[in-house]
Amino acid sequence: MNVLVLNSGSSSIKYQLINVETREVLAKGLCERIALKEGTFIYKDVQGTLIEKKLELPNHDFAAQLIFDELFSEDKNFSVEAFGHRVVMGGWYFDDAVLIDDDVKAKILELAELAPLHNYPAHAVIEASMKIHPDVPSVAIFDTAFHTTIPAKSSDYALPRDIIEKYKIKRYGAHGISHRYVAEMTKKFFEGYEQLKILSAHIGNGASLCAISHGVSVNTTMGFTPLEGLVMGTRCGTIDPAIVTYVLENSDMTAHDFFELMNKKSGLLGLSNYSSDLRDIYFKSLEGDAQCRHAMEAYSDSIKQHIGSMVFSMGGCDVIAFTAGVGENSAQVRELALEGLEDLGIILNQDKNDNVDVSDGLIADISHFKSRVRILVVPTNEELMMAMDTKRILAEQTGD
Ligand code: ADP
């Protein structure tokens, strides 16, 4: 079964056409800088075709058409049996992936109020896929669905009830597709042992931790929006909310300006005043740049602090699983984040940590033999998880 997985962001669409049985990626690529100056379209496939074009991409509908035109052109004509759409905000409606119909589309639009940068583009691309192939089923896979199991004591913010209810404020979390994939791979690694307490650490440009007990999310560091929690590439993570009102009252900035500043100009970029990319920061700190060194330490220390909060939230930890760009590739960040936790039974094997290579897609165990908590590097694959979810939901529908 070929599933076309579509991941629509605020200014991009990433796509992969995956054969779910063989797990082969038949074609993949992306449209970038949608509705901005000079967009990019990239297409690669198993036959070795590589197309890269610079062109104006006025909106998501237009970008989706370009992708479909390429995949379903006369010469390539890939078959597609289902579409799998990533939708960031599933709110209170969706605790699992779902077959898309008119009702689901209406709910995705209703929830766009809480995640306008993501749900509107996802809705536009869903409409485009249903137009191009009306008979091919579409499934929505929600980033928030995995976190609907978080108990109210951990997902509620201590604000007045009327405000919480009026604005539907709670911890919705994010990165749910990746955290669930990591949990499933980790469970397989331990041969299906169900009771595991897993701390999944998705550390990339965006970053979050998730406490997973008995296979379900019981807490996560991202909150009402992905801004909360860890220091990230350009996001500040958790700060004292009084800083916001203090700066707004004492500057010319608008609420929107400060929101942009917290999301796009803070984190590694803000602290280093150099880059949001961990590799850049690392190499610059090796050259002796003090601000870059400090940025990397603050980024890693925030992981450590939040590990504490997640581990206590689930009452212990059997496995810490690092994933995503930094989690899979940076020995330095893993080391800084776990440094000093030896008395808590969290001990890295330095040699194994320095020599991780998960490019084969397999899990690496980097724990010291004396470590009570197993420390793993688990390469994430959100696209494959989405393709498998799509197949599962369709099988549930038909009773296969
Ligand atoms: P996102 O999907 O949130 O944009 P990724 O998971 O792709 O982010 O992670 C991007 C981050 O991973 C960047 O900061 C990048 O520098 C870092 N990264 C990627 N490869 C390496 C590497 N080999 N060593 C250190 N950091 C890396």
Summarised one tens digit per residue, pLDDT across range 5-22 is 999 988 999 999 999 999
Residue 296 CA to ligand 1 centre (angstroms): 13
φ/ψ of 141, rounded to 5, equals -120, 120
For 281, the token pair is 């920061």
Residue 155, pLDDT score: 98
Give the confidence band of 393 by pLDDT, cuts at 50, 70, 90.
very high
Ligand 1, atom 22, residue with closest C-alpha: 329
Average pLDDT over residues 356-360: 94
CA proximity to 206, closest of 182, 188, 222, 189: 222
Pocket flag, ligand 1, residue 324 (CB < 6 Å): yes
Query: CA 192 → CA 138, 188, 195, 360, 391, distances in Å?
Result: 30, 5, 9, 22, 22
Q: How far apart are CA 191 and CA 269, in angstroms?
A: 41
Average pLDDT over residues 83-87: 98
Residue 115, pLDDT score: 87
CB 83 within 8 A of CB 129: yes
Pocket flag, ligand 1, residue 277 (CB < 6 Å): yes
CB 304 within 8 A of CB 337: yes
Residue 193, pLDDT score: 80
Q: How far apart are CA 69 and CA 76, in angstroms?
A: 10
Q: How far apart are CA 247 and CA 112, in angstroms?
A: 28
Give the catalytic positions in this structure. 143
Q: Would you give the end-to-end CA distance of the chain in angstroms? A: 14
For 217, the token pair is 């999310």
Residue 207 CA to ligand 1 centre (angstroms): 10
Residue 233 CA to ligand 1 centre (angstroms): 9
Residue 397, pLDDT score: 87
Residue 363 CA to ligand 1 centre (angstroms): 18
Q: Which atom of ligand 1 is nearest to the CA of 282?
A: 25
Pocket test for ligand 1, best of 329, 378, 380, 381 (most atoms within 8 A of CB): 329
pLDDT digits (tens, 9 = 90+) for 209-238: 999 999 999 999 999 999 999 999 999 999
Q: Which residue's structure tokens are 């109020």?
A: 113
Pocket test for ligand 1, best of 323, 330, 380 (most atoms within 8 A of CB): 330
H helix runs in 231-274, sequence order:
242-249, 255-264, 267-272
Average pLDDT over residues 49-74: 96
Residue 194, pLDDT score: 81
Pocket flag, ligand 1, residue 379 (CB < 6 Å): no
pLDDT digits (tens, 9 = 90+) for 250-283: 999 999 999 999 999 999 999 999 999 999 999 9
φ/ψ of 254, rounded to 5, equals -90, 170
φ/ψ of 32, rounded to 5, equals -120, 160
pLDDT digits (tens, 9 = 90+) for 297-308: 999 999 999 999
Q: How far apart are CA 16 and CA 5, in angstroms?
A: 5
List all residues 6 or more positions away from 209 whose beta carbon is below 8 Å from its beta carbon.
199, 200, 201, 202, 220, 221, 229, 230, 303, 306, 307, 310
Residue 116, pLDDT score: 85
Residue 331 CA to ligand 1 centre (angstroms): 12
Residue 264, pLDDT score: 92
Pocket flag, ligand 1, residue 270 (CB < 6 Å): no
pLDDT digits (tens, 9 = 90+) for 144-200: 999 999 999 999 999 999 999 999 999 999 999 999 999 999 999 999 788 999 999
For 57, the token pair is 């991409």
Residue 192, pLDDT score: 77
Pocket test for ligand 1, best of 181, 203, 205 (most atoms within 8 A of CB): 205
Q: Report the chain's mean pLDDT, rounded to a whole number.
A: 96
Pocket flag, ligand 1, residue 331 (CB < 6 Å): no
Q: How far apart are CA 105 and CA 123, in angstroms?
A: 7
Average pLDDT over residues 312-328: 97
Residue 304, pLDDT score: 98
Pocket flag, ligand 1, residue 330 (CB < 6 Å): yes
Residue 326 CA to ligand 1 centre (angstroms): 5
Q: What is the pTM of this model?
A: 0.94
